Amino acid sequence: MATTLGEQLAVSGKIKLADYDSRATTGFDGAKDDSAKSMTLLGEELSDQQERLFANGQAKTGDTKVLLLLQGMDTSGKGGIIRYAAGLVDPQGLSIYSFKKPTPEELEHDFLWRIDKHLPAAGKIGVFDRSQYEDVLIGRVRQLAEPAEIERRYDAINDFEKAFTDSGGVLIKCFLHITTDDQKERLAARLDDPTKHWKYNPGDIDERMLWDDYQRAYEIAIERCSTEWAPWHLIPSGRKWYRNWAVAALLAEKLRGLNLEWPPADFDVETEKARLTNT
């Protein structure tokens, strides 16, 4: 039976990340050379769908908004997806936010306080480069909070995401899956290329040394927070072209499923035509 790309990429329950092939091309019919054409077609569809979404936001005829949430180890390609997949649509319709180490002010609030502030408005496609999940990933691995507090956060995240999807939000959570070898190769490439040195941070190696702990933290986050209203998707990200295609295709599939109509005129068209003629 034909299934959607979303269904094919969804993950939930107890999983072992090591069982997943980072170089899989799930749902893509063809080879790398075919992906450029497919991206062009996806770009046209995404552009149309995004404009319908935006139009409804502007016309206040709907409260729908979309949030593409990206998580993954360093070099897994969060930035690449924003550039090559999100970059296919009109930038006016995007609301991109990159979460860094929390500021002192943010730390004085609940961990979801800063997340809430950056949720997309109606009509927008939000993109989160890292997210609330950092607080159960680095938070867990680096023991930045008490175990009981980390435990509390999984349920708090589920409730928060439920409130978002209950109020017109469509949440697309993507874990960009790479192996430790994939990362080694990409970090080496950054070190070899002076035009990429600015992307490199010695702290990346410190995090890399905790690879297994991070993988385990991701497995727990997927087990606890892959819900019916906001499932996690595992994006095989060992091949950059597939990773970009998969996220663009997943976004297009979700937008298509909304059956967005153009908003009706809130004025009398014939009256306005007559007014225009007289100018």
Name the one range near a copy of itself by CB under 8 A: 142-150, 212-220, 243-251, 268-276.
268-276
CB of 153 to a copy of itself, least distance (A): 27
H or E segment and range at residue 11: strand 10-11
Residue with Cβ nearer a copy of itself (18 or 205): 205
Piece of the chain touching a copy of itself by CB under 8 A; list 14-22, 26-34, 81-89, 252-260: 81-89
Dig out the tokens for 80 from the structure: 């690449």
Binding flag, residue 142, a copy of itself (CB under 8 A): no
Structure tokens at 11: 């993950």
101 touching a copy of itself, by CB under 8 A:
no
- Report the b/e string of 244-267 with b at 16+ CB within 10 A: bbbbbbbbbbbbeeeebeeeeeee
Structure token digits, residue 129: 């480069």
- Residue 175 CB, nearest distance to a copy of itself (Å)? 20
**Judged by CB under 8 A, which of 37, 83, 117, 142 binds a copy of itself?**
83
197 binds a copy of itself (CB under 8 A): yes
Contacts of residue 128, defined as CB under 8 A and 6 or more positions apart, other chains included, come to: 67, 68, 69, 70, 97, 99, 115, 118
Q: Is 276 in the site for a copy of itself (CB under 8 A)?
A: yes
Q: Can you tell me the distance from the alpha carbon of 56 to that of 168, in angstroms, rounded to the nearest whole number?
A: 12
List b or e across 31-54, with b for residues whose CB sees 16 or more CB atoms inside 10 angstroms. eeeebeebbeebbebbeebbbbbb
Binding site for a copy of itself (CB under 8 A): 55-56, 58-59, 79, 82-83, 86-87, 90-92, 94, 96, 98, 129, 180, 184, 187-188, 191, 194-195, 197-202, 205, 208-209, 262-265, 267, 269, 272-273, 275-276, 279
